[in-house]
Amino acid sequence: MQRFRFPADAPDEEELALRSEVRSFLQQQRNNGGFTPCADCWVSGANPAFSARLGEQGWLGMTWPKQYGGHGRPALHRLVVTEELLAAGAPVAAHWVADRQTGAQILRFGTEAQKQEILPSMAAGTSFAAIGMSEPQAGSDLAAVVTRATQNADGNWIMNGRKIWSTGAHISDYMIVLARTSAADGRNRQVGLSQFLVPLKTPGIEITGIRDLAGSIHFNETLFDNVKLSADALLGTEGNGWAQCMGELATERSGPERYLTTFVILEQALLALRGRLDDHGVAAVGRLIAHLTSLRRMSRGIAQLIQRGDSPDTEAALVKQMGNRVERDILNEVRRLLATLPRSQWPGSLSALLDDATLRLPSHTLRGGTTEILRGIIARQLGLR
């Protein structure tokens, strides 16, 4: 049985300075009306102008090489920035996927021309990306995708199929699509899948928004009808799409967006409840903070592993699974603690934030891998299956 790895490393001076710089920037933005805090801000809080402001600050594409518009900084610096943005409830959804995973995939598998053309605008916060993995019959069972790409004699690809739930596709410039390029090898359906970097303005692509429980449209269905793609749209190696996709999941699952989504609500509630908590309330808040502290420590360890070139998929599954539970516990605990306070004494936006977050809560344990699937991954690492 392999153990879980979460290397520890104390923050250095540069990190501490960066954290206070980001905090002052966010305070200033809020004071100037640059944004209103939202829960779930990395999925439903798209604000391209705000993303461009972060790009100007040098806080997007932070770990990418400077020659492609990045800033050559360590993964822990990016973690500091993302933590502060999420804790403040800043509207980061527009650039989130490009900055978190699409840029890294292009860096690893893209052509030199793609890196030069696409990465600088992603780092500037002016070009966005979406994830094209799920299909109506392929979610947890991702190898069941039926979107197909076939190569013509002239080397171009023709794509047909349907992706669903792609967050931000309606405002994105690119989507990395997982498609079948050849038949499965008997029962091994992971064979014959490939990734494509698809410009979303290509003729034959139709994107339709899907309204969620909270009433907002942030994810989409995307149809591909005989979409003609150039030969270099194939990202990486033909047939290696499954492995490339799995490589993305450590970055997709391990970050602070898996445990800080409802943090803005906890913070506002604690301001209102200051001096009014009984012993049980204090213990409940202490428990939440202890969990959040552990998750931060684990997420920090994963950032270091990714920096070293490791792919800590199982550790990431653990962070997401535990983090989703803490996000739920925060909402339940805040609701219980606030019951002691007349609504007229709640801070202005707290009620609306709480309602909105409650409607979005069911999606936390679906997006990025369901609880059952993550527990299966963790169980395998423990040697239980």
Ligand X SMILES: Cc1cc2nc3c(=O)[nH]c(=O)nc-3n(C[C@H](O)[C@H](O)[C@H](O)COP(=O)(O)OP(=O)(O)OC[C@H]3O[C@@H](n4cnc5c(N)ncnc54)[C@H](O)[C@@H]3O)c2cc1C
Question: Taking Cα atoms as reference points, which of 275, 232, 221, 258 lies closest to residue 366?
Answer: 258
Kindly report the number of other CB atoms within 10 A of residue 17's CB atom. Answer: 11
Question: For ligand X, which residue of 11, 48, 58, 139 counts as binding (CB under 6 A)?
Answer: 139
Q: Can you read off the two tokens belonging to residue 88?
A: 């403040």
Binding residues among 219-248 for ligand X as defined by CB under 6 A = 219
| Least Å from the CB of residue 122 to ligand X | 16
| Least Å from the CB of residue 139 to ligand X | 2
| Least Å from the CB of residue 369 to ligand X | 6
User: Distance (Å, rounded) from C-alpha 315 to C-alpha 297?
Assistant: 12
User: Distance (Å, rounded) from C-alpha 194 to C-alpha 240?
Assistant: 6
| Least Å from the CB of residue 360 to ligand X | 8
- From 73-81, 114-122, 240-248, 359-367, give the range in contact with ligand X by CB under 6 A: 359-367
Site string for ligand X, 106-125 (x = CB under 6 A): --------------------
| Least Å from the CB of residue 168 to ligand X | 7
Per-residue DSSP letter, 110? S
**Pair 209, 170: CB distance under 8 Å:** yes
Does residue 331 bind ligand X (CB under 6 A)? no
Binding residues among 72-111 for ligand X as defined by CB under 6 A = none
Q: Can you read off the two tokens belonging to residue 333?
A: 């605990």
Q: Can you read off the two tokens belonging to residue 275?
A: 């001096």
Number of Cα atoms under 13 Å in the Cβ half of residue 308 = 11
Does residue 165 bind ligand X (CB under 6 A)? yes
Question: For ligand X, which residue of 171, 191, 205, 373 counts as binding (CB under 6 A)?
Answer: 373
- From 79-87, 128-136, 258-266, 273-281, give the range in contact with ligand X by CB under 6 A: 128-136
Does residue 134 bind ligand X (CB under 6 A)? yes
Instruction: Write phi, then psi, for 259 (nearest 5 degrees).
Output: -140, -5
Q: Supply angle C-alpha 212, 95, 35, rounded to 5.
A: 75
| Least Å from the CB of residue 376 to ligand X | 6
Binding residues among 20-49 for ligand X as defined by CB under 6 A = 43
Q: Can you read off the two tokens belonging to residue 112?
A: 């030199």
Question: For ligand X, which residue of 331, 367, 377, 378 counts as binding (CB under 6 A)?
Answer: 367
Question: For ligand X, which residue of 119, 122, 133, 179 counts as binding (CB under 6 A)?
Answer: 133
Instruction: Give the helix/strand (H/E) hosting 29.
Output: helix 13-31
Residue with smaller CB distance to ligand X, 133 or 285:
133
| Least Å from the CB of residue 240 to ligand X | 18
Does residue 366 bind ligand X (CB under 6 A)? yes
The residues with which 243 forms a beta bridge, in sequence order, are none
Strands (DSSP E) along the chain, which ranges?
129-132, 148-151, 157-167, 174-180, 193-199, 205-211, 217-229, 234-235
Residue 203, helix vs strand vs coil: coil
Does residue 202 bind ligand X (CB under 6 A)? no
Instruction: Write phi, then psi, for 347 (nearest 5 degrees).
Output: -60, 150
Residue with smaller CB distance to ligand X, 140 or 230:
140
Question: For ligand X, which residue of 166, 195, 262, 324 counts as binding (CB under 6 A)?
Answer: 166
For the chain, first and last CA: distance in Å?
A: 11
| Least Å from the CB of residue 371 to ligand X | 6
Q: Supply angle C-alpha 114, 190, 218, rounded to 5.
A: 55
| Least Å from the CB of residue 367 to ligand X | 4
Question: For ligand X, which residue of 20, 27, 116, 140 counts as binding (CB under 6 A)?
Answer: 140
Size of the site for ligand X (CB under 6 A): 19
| Least Å from the CB of residue 169 to ligand X | 8
**Pair 377, 316: CB distance under 8 Å:** no
* Interface positions with ligand X (CB under 6 A): 43, 130-134, 139-140, 165-167, 219, 363, 366-367, 369-370, 372-373
